[in-house]
Structure 1
Amino acid sequence: MTTNPILVSFSGVQKTYDGINLVVRDLNLDIRQGEFLSLLGPSGSGKTTTLMMLAGFESPTAGEIMLDGRQITRTPPHKRNFGMVFQNYALFPHMTLAENIAYPLTVRKLPKAEREAKVLKALDMVQLGRMGSRYPGQLSGGQQQRVALARALVFDPQLVLMDEPLGALDKQLREHMQIELKALHRRLGVTFVYVTHDQTEALTMSDRVAVFSDGAIQQIDVVDSLYETPANRFVAGFVGDSTVLQAEVTRLDGAHCEVRLPSGVQLRGLNVNAAAVGDAVQCGTRPERLKIADAPGANTFQSQVLDVIYFGDHLRLRCEMPGQPDATIKMPLGHHQLPEPGQTIHVHAPVEHLRIYR
């Protein structure tokens, strides 16, 4: 992926609606040819505004956007040759599926025979091959979303932009569509830029994810690095589950540091953003990295089990420590010794997976 040429480049892009508050602040972002990039973040983080500036529906207040080395900062949407898929599908109810999908080709004045061939190919691509004569009102939500996707792809765009396209679907259908979208992307090799606030969706489908907060990218990375090595507190808390302990730094040791919990227990972990001795910090680790120890030892703390919750493919222990948020431990099914609520356990946090954030 890293060897693919850069297709889109944002340089110093800012956006404000009132001249005071920056919705997007100093955005520098390269999107590579053929990648599936997700823009992930909570409401108001700037991800949708970034997509709308790329689409041409919003103009940057400052900075520039380049496409294939050409500036498109002021190019109107219809001249950008991008496919768009929205959450509300935006299908024409009075047109058949085939007519809906053909619409971008009609606007581009393609000959009738070529239009029909492309529409048939697009219908097949989204597994709606024999349904071209139906109307949107006769389809389920998932089928309508496929039609919207076919319409966005039918004219061979350089880039497909998607704004929460699966948000209106139920959980099972959404998960099914995620797999289909990813497979379609792999088959076509078109560049996808996908906006979502759903971290599972972003991790499932993307090659890379850009995590937004407060108008800025907090981290952009391939999915496994994003999950395993969050760059700061926000990313650690927003992407995946985290068990968090409050502590104070007592000693620095190269890339690591030692911290003391309010209970007096000492732990050692990776000093992610240069915390200093005396700093109040958060120690974050993924719940599946925590292990139950047989006895006290290095990087081990005591905790009392509140609940044992069955999740189908794993168990979760909810544990309590004085002066700390509840800690979660994920355990595989069939664990040989399952603790019970009320029991005090020793929990081991491996040094390499305990990340210290100031």
Structure 2
Amino acid sequence: MSHAEPLVRFTGVQKTYDGEQLVVRDLNLDIQRGEFLSLLGPSGSGKTTTLMMLAGFESPTAGDILLDGRQITGTPPHKRNFGMVFQNYALFPHLTVGQNVAYPLTVRKVPKDEQARRVAKALDMVRLGGMADRLPTRLSGGQQQRVALARALVFEPQLVLMDEPLGALDKQLREHMQIELKELHRQLGVTFVYVTHDQGEALTMSDRVAVFNEGVIQHLASPEALYETPANRFVAGFVGDSTVLKGTLEGQNTLRLPDGQCLQGVNVNRAAAGAAVEACVRPERIALQPVGGPAPANALDARVARAIYYGDHLRLLCALGAGQAEATVKVPLTRADSNPHPQAGEAVRLVFEAPSTRLYAV
């Protein structure tokens, strides 16, 4: 078998619960060996249903799911050799940490001495060595999540499936666990498939991200490509912050605003001349210049409505007038920066990078 063949392949997979509305529509997706793939999207987008079909807890209404080139649509969950980690941990409260982690090995009738060795290794892996005799109720939320992760890894699965596993943790602990999970993935080389609605989490951890909406993958790409070159208007709005400008397309790549001003951009989906379009621009791709003197290309005059301090940067919300939403501009802050920053009410000039001004048909 070619090493390049994907570990998992979805071909024409559909899922409906009521026979009418498709929760997942014509899904074609390859999951590569050893990658960290996140399924990202809003509630009801089909991402969790996709994970549940892969796990075997749901069956596709149509299509095929292949593992190593073999059909697994009819294979029950316990025979798929997948580790699972859920948001609610799903630990047995009456069993110790060690017994919880050993459970998949007990089910597989692994000898006791081998169980002890593997449990100790799995707990060390998640930095819980020495806690095997504790009960889960004596652990913090982050520690319980690590136990659930150790249990998913202890039988050396070829695939680890995670459904919003960090959703119940507070922000600081969640960000810490993201770094730990990514490092663990790097060390183990196991394939991770991770469901989340948190865009920052997906961008931070993944090799690739599949953005779902209405049962369809809208964009499948690396985090950088997803952020810098979104495939459509939905992805541009869902992943990261954007300033959105409304207007019409003039020629091939020019946005004409209602007040007659024009900006050059990239016509992503080949909208036709005269079509209503929206430009999406990341806040850090807008440069700030003082008003006065000749205006540079691709610039608009604006007025600062609010300045919000974020510690490492200042976020300016700028009024553009003419029925436009406020433009968001990120201004980096450094200790050495002694220049006064614009305050509410000040006039500013916003310069837009043409390659980062992405035009989408409405």
Alignment TM-score, normalising by the size of structure 1: 0.97
In structure 1, C-alpha distance between the alignment counterparts of 2:346 and 2:184, rounded to whole Å: 49
Q: Which amino acid aligns with 1:67?
A: L
1:262 to partner: Cα distance: 1.2
CA distance in 2, matches of 1:115, 1:52: 28
Aligned partner of 1:336 in structure 2 is: 339
| Among 279, 284, 289, the residue aligned to 2:280 | 284
Q: Choose from 345, 349, 352 the match for 2:352.
A: 349
Cα distance per residue 1:249-305 (max 9 Å; x no partner)? 1112xxxx1111112111110000011111110001110010013442211111110
Q: Residue 208 of structure 2 corresponds to which residue in structure 1?
A: 208
Corresponding residue number in structure 2 for 1:165: 165
Deviation at 1:216, TM superposition (A): 0.3
CA distance, structure 1, for counterparts of residue 199 and residue 354 of structure 2: 26
C-alpha spacing 1:4/1:143, structure 2 compared with 1 (3 Å): farther
The one-letter code sitting in structure 2 at the alignment partner of 1:62 is A
Q: 1:261-280, aligned counterparts within 5 Å?
A: 261-280=257-276
Q: Give the secondary structure class of the aligned counterpart of 2:7.
A: strand
The amino acid of 2:90's aligned partner reads A
Q: CA deviation at 1:5?
A: 3.9
Residue 325 of structure 1: aligned partner? 325
Residue identity matched to 2:344: P
Q: How far apart, in 1, do the equivalents of 2:237 and 2:268 lie?
A: 14
Aligned AA for 1:346? R
Aligned residues of 1:4 and 1:34 also touching (Cα < 8 A): no
Aligned partners of 2:278 and 2:183: how far apart in 1? 38
Aligned partners of 1:98, 1:247: CA distance in 2, in Å? 61
Q: CA deviation at 1:100?
A: 0.3
Moved more, 304-313 or 38-47: 304-313
Taking the aligned partners of 2:71 and 2:153, their CA distance within structure 1 comes to 23
Secondary structure in 1 aligned to 2:265?
A: strand
* In structure 2, C-alpha distance between the alignment counterparts of 1:339 and 1:110, rounded to whole Å: 66
Partner of 1:51: 51
> Are the aligned partners of 1:292 and 1:345 in contact in 2 as well (CA < 8 Å)?
yes
SS of 1:210's partner is strand
Q: For 1:321 and 1:194, locate their aligned partners in 2 and report how far apart those are by CA, in whole Å.
A: 39
Once the two structures are superposed, the pairs formed by residues 221-232 of structure 1 within 5 Å of their partners are: 221-232=221-232
- Following superposition, the deviation at residue 337 of structure 1 comes to 4.5
Query: Which position in structure 2 is the counterpart of 1:236?
Result: 236
Correspondence 1:260 to 2:256: yes
Cα distance, 1:335–1:319 mapped onto 2, change above 3 Å: farther
Task: Work out the CA distance in 2 between the residues paired with 1:220 and 1:18.
Answer: 28
Aligned-partner Cα distance in 2 for 1:180–1:139:
18
- 1:289-342 deviations in whole A, cap 9, x for unaligned? 100134422111111101111101111100112201111000111373421211
Report SS of the residue matched to 1:6. Answer: coil
Query: Displacement, 1:344?
Result: 1.7
SS in 2 for 1:152: helix
In structure 2, C-alpha distance between the alignment counterparts of 1:349 and 1:186, rounded to whole Å: 37
- The CA deviation at 1:235 is 0.5
CA distance in 2, matches of 1:340, 1:109: 68
Q: Deviations over 1:60-91 (max 9, x none)?
A: 00000000000001111011000000000000
Provide the C-alpha distance between the structure 1 equivalents of 2:155 and 2:95, rounded to a whole number of angstroms. Answer: 18
Letter of the 1:342 counterpart? G
Quick check: 1:195 aligned with 2:183? no
- The residue that corresponds to 2:125 in the other structure is 125
Letter in 2 for 1:304: R
Q: Distance in 1 between matches of 2:32 and 2:251?
A: 42
Deviation at 1:4? 5.1
Q: 2:20 matched to which residue of 1? A: 20
- Return structure 1 stretches of 4+ with deviation > 3 angstroms: none
The TM-score, its normalising length taken from structure 2, stands at 0.96
Change (3 A) 1:198 1:335: farther
Structure 2: give runs of 5+ residues left out of the alignment: none
Q: Which residue pairs with 2:306 in the alignment?
A: 307
Q: SS state of the match for residue 193, structure 2?
A: strand
Q: Which runs of 5 or more residues in structure 1 are unaligned?
A: none
Give the letter aligned to residue 202 of structure 2: A
What is the rounded CA distance, in whole Å, between the counterparts of 2:259 and 2:163 in structure 1? 46
Distance 1:330 1:4, change over 3 A: farther
